[in-house]
Structure formats: C-alpha cells, structure tokens
Chains A and B, each alone.
Chain A
Amino acid sequence: MAAVAMASLFVAAPSFADVLDNINSSKKIRVATDLGIPPFGMLDGSMQPSGSDVDVAKLLAADWGVELEFINTTGPTRIPNINTDKADVVISSLSVTEERKKAVDFTRPYSFIRTAIIAPADDLAKEWKDLAGKSVAVVRSTTQDIALTEKAPEFGFTVVRYDDDATTITAAVSGQATYVGLADPQMRAINERSPGKKFEAKIVINQFPIAMAVKKGETKLAEKLNEWIATNIENGKLNAAYKAHHNIDIPAEILK
C-alpha cells in the first residue's frame, strides 16, 4: 500500500509544474521561434514576427484564448529553450529526428521542409536522369550532400561542395552553379539576391516532417497540441498558413 502511495506520489509529482497548467493559469503561451529563417520565421518590414511558423503560433494562441509571447531563438538553442523552461513549446521548423526524440517530446507533424535541386526557371531538368553530366552544388556534408553523393554514380552527375550557405548561395547568384541542392529557405535567399533570374525547385531530394516540441514528459500539453493540430489539418488552416508563405501545399503523407 505504502509502495503504491509512494509510486503515485512520484508519478504525480511532475504535474505540479505542468506546463499546460502554467499556460492556463498565466493565460500566456511562450513559443520559441527562430525569426531568422524565412519563410518559416522572420521579421517583416515593420519588424513584426512573420512567417508560416509565426502564423501557426498565432492561430494556436487565438484558438486557446491565451496571450502569445515569442521567445526568439536560434537553430541550436531551440531545444535548450524548452528544456530550461524559457519557452513552453518550440514551433520553429524543427524536423523530427531520432536524436531529437531523445531530448524532447514531439507532437504530430504540422508542417514540412523539403530539400530539392533547384535551377533557374527556364532550365529543362525535371527528373534525376536529366542531371547526367551536370554538376550540382551543395553545402558540404549536409543531408543534401549525403543524399546526392549516394545518387551521383547512378545518374552520372557530379557533386560540387562549398563550405557554407553563403558561398553556395553566392555560387548560384553569380552563375557559377546552375543546379543547387538545398532547402526552400535558401532558395528564397537566392531569389532575393538575383534579380532577373529566378530559381525554382526541379527535383525533390527529401521531405522532412516538422513537428512542435515540448519538454520531455509534458504529455498533457503534447496531447492537447496534437488535438489542435488534428483539427487544423482537418479545416485546412495549417495548410493555408504554409501555402501563404511557401507557395506550395503540405503533402498529405506528411500530415498523416
């Protein structure tokens, strides 16, 4: 009896500091979003947060009837922000990986990020075999690099590696690289910097589901978020928020 009472005490203990209760009692949700990765999160012309993740957070706060506070974060500090209770939930293009599952609890996917081979709009490449004899630029040892390095011998293209985003983007803008393997946000950066030459995605390399994340063990909050995501997949609001900023739909298989 005593053992059961003790056990239930230990199980019950964390619920004293339940994040969901905190949200409900303070009438405020703190969302960690990186505002430096357009079009997921950015600052608009009047320095207000904007982007698809920002819109999702706004929808969520409005539906729950709580005040929304953005905790500005960078890529590497997204997870530490919730684990040190500086934020309640991460909504910041956080793709679901096995490594991260060990550190946080993920909700179901609400969004996605894809990597693709992009090329100037008038380029005719449509599928892998069109790349034979061509060079595809990537940032060294990224997921795109690894995926393309595997495919290169089969389809007869060469992988050309630069050390960082900036050099790769410069290579595309200056015309050194025609085909570039990268994620959508970098394509946007290229298109902003190269007037008169618009790049578009020609071949999708990979699609990664993006989910919200909460501190490990915050099951109640995760469940409530899952319900909310399910509702807003159903009514199309999540897809609309994504499409407004990315100009593409979220594939149905991602949201399953």
Chain B
Amino acid sequence: MSFDFSPIFDRWPMLLSGALMTMLLATAATALGFVIGTLCAVGRNSSYRAASAICAVYVETIRNTPFLVQIFLIFFGLSTLGFTLGAVTVAILALTINVGAYTGEIMRAGFNSVHSGQWEAAECLGLSRLQTYWHVVLFPAVERVYPSLTSQFILLMLASSITSQISVPELTGNANFIQGVSFRPLETYLVIGVIYFALSVVMRQAFNGIGMLIFPRRRRLGTAL
C-alpha cells in the first residue's frame, strides 16, 4: 500500500472552492437558524396556544426525520410542484430549517434557565413580554447555552456535507469527484477529514471570539454564567 496524494493536491482549487462553499452554507444557516430557533423558542413558551402548537409541530417534525429526507423533499418536492430553486438556495433553506429546530430547543432551555425573579422584576417595571425577552432574558439565556449552540452549529457545518447529494459543489461533493477520477479514496477522504477538522477549529475559535465580544462577564471574569 503506497500513498499518493498528488492527484488530490493537484486539484487544490476544487478543495478550496469546496471549503469556501461549506463555510458559506454554515455561516448563512447559522445566522438564519439562530433567528428562527430563537423565535421558535419564544413561540413555544408563548401563552398563545396556536403559536406554541405550530412551533412544537415544527420542532418535532424536523427533529424526528432525517436531514437527507428533508433536503430531498425541498429540492425535488418543490420543483415537482413547479417551484424550482437553485441547489445552493435549497441547501441554505434546508440547513436553516433543520438547525432552527434544534436551536429552538436549546434556546428554550436557555430561556427557562433564567431565574423567575428576573421575569417578575421585568413585569413589575412594566416591560412587555417582548421587551422582557429583548432587554432582560435574551443575553443571559444565550450566554448560558452558548457552548451547546457552538456545538450545534459545528454539527451543522459537518452536516452540510449531505448537500452534495443535491449537487451543491461543497467540500464533500468536490472530494467525491476527485475520488471518482483519481481512484484514491483513502487519500482523498483523509485530506478532507483534515480540512473539516480545521474548519471546525476555526469555527469554534470564531464562536469563542464572538462570545468574548458580546458577553462582558465572560470577557472580564473569564467564567461561564
């Protein structure tokens, strides 16, 4: 058994463009998924039964079906109905919907972890429900579940490899091509394994940096809430 990495490294522009596409998918879906997940957590805790039911159905549907099924449904299902979206758009949409459900549950745990005295204090000050979320609860909640959120978004970046199935030219898709023409599966997947690992480290560091920026307690005391 001899290793030959040259057919893989010769195609480095494909690996680079694949890694960039992976990061684009991860970044877009993280940002959008965080917004959707937070709204979903607010909805689930809401006293409006309809809002809470809709959010519950969304979360349970997404968390109990495979991502591959979801993405095929959106990609092929929509175009069968005459509504055709590009592969990258569908990938971002599907990843957002998927990670939104998981984020929703994490954020709900965060909101519920905020001491009830804080909710009552806000109420006494005459803040509306939404004002309470925004000014009082949101930041401590996010700070408390920040490590879980970080893990979830890194999982999302790794799961974006599945979008190669709907022809998105991301890292795994491009690696499958390189493997298919070079017949060097071991070397190819070793290389992209290392690249994924590096991307995970970069993402984790980025989340740490953002955490330092938005959570003063962390910045000053260096301790988690």
Contacts and interface: CB of A to CB of B under 8 A. Distances in A.
A145 interface: yes
A137 B167 contact: yes
A88 to B, nearest CB: 32
B80 interface: yes
Given A146-B181, A174-B80, A161 B75 contact: no
Interface stretch (B30-38, B172-180, B216-224): B172-180
Of B82, B167, B173, B179, most A-chain CB atoms within 10 Å: B167
Interface residues of B, number: 19
A45 to B, nearest CB: 28
Interface string B148-187: 0000000000000000111101000100110111000000
A142 to B, nearest CB: 8
Contact of B75 (A140, A142, A176): A176
A160 B87 contact: yes
B180 A175 contact: no
Using C-beta atoms within 8 Å of the partner chain, give the interface range for chain A: 10 to 19
B17 to A, nearest CB: 12
Contact of A174 (B76, B167, B173, B176): B76
B132 to A, nearest CB: 45
A186 to B, nearest CB: 16
B118 interface: no
Contacts of A175: 79-80, 82, 84
Contacts of A146: 181
Interface of B: 75-77, 79-80, 82, 84, 87, 164-167, 169, 173, 176-177, 179-181
Given A163-B176, A176-B75, 11 more contacts: A142-B180, A161-B167, A167-B165, A167-B166, A174-B75, A174-B79, A175-B80, A175-B84, A176-B79, A176-B87, A176-B166
Closest 10 CB pairs of A and B: A141-B180, A174-B76, A175-B79, A160-B167, A174-B79, A174-B80, A176-B79, A141-B181, A162-B167, A140-B177
